[in-house]
Amino acid sequence: MPPTAQASGQSSTGPGSFSADSLHIACPHCDTLNRVPPARLGGGKCGRCGNALFGGKPVALDARRFAAHAEKSDLPLLIDFWAEWCGPCRMMAPVFTQAAAQLEPRVRLAKIDTEASPDLAARFGIRSIPSLVLVHHGREIARTAGAMPLPALVAWVRQQIPSPRG
């Protein structure tokens, strides 16, 4: 049975810790919140659009899509603030994509173009790019700036988010 699309309140779980009930996961395609049992976290399809909830690649976000993924979803969200003209951002892009494949389903990765969404860049006080900001339920957990190799990026994220118990 597919997960039920549900747009209810936030979970009280911390980043990376999963409750026994279900998690609210925003669909990377239509932004609908879906209830997913922790045991089925790596799979599942959206109850609204039918697309996979995890594709192992970053989601492009703008101001319209931001709330579903950064504030309402129970997954921590790692945001790459970037711009097309930025050389280090272009170098970081394939590394960030590879990191998504390694970090999902415990973390959703997203890219926000600072030129297209200056309001979001201002909200997070982005002064240099690339900047990576880890948020959970809209609250910043950690940040770092500058391009980094894949092992360093994955290690940094895993250090910020405790392993699930079990």
Active site (catalytic) residues: 86, 89
As a whole number of Å, the end-to-end CA separation of the chain is 25
- Strand-pair partners of 95: none
Concatenated DSSP letters for 115-163? Answer: TT-HHHHHHTT--SSSEEEEEETTEEEEEEES---HHHHHHHHHHHSPP
Tokens 């030129």 found at: 115
Question: For residues 88 and 45, what is the distance between their CA atoms, to the nearest angstrom?
Answer: 34
Task: Please enumerate in sequence order all residues whose Cβ is within 8 A of that of 21, keeping only pairs 6 or more positions apart, or say none.
Answer: 37
Q: Please choose, from the candidates 23, 21, 37, 7, the residue with its C-alpha nearest in 3D space to the C-alpha of residue 108.
A: 23
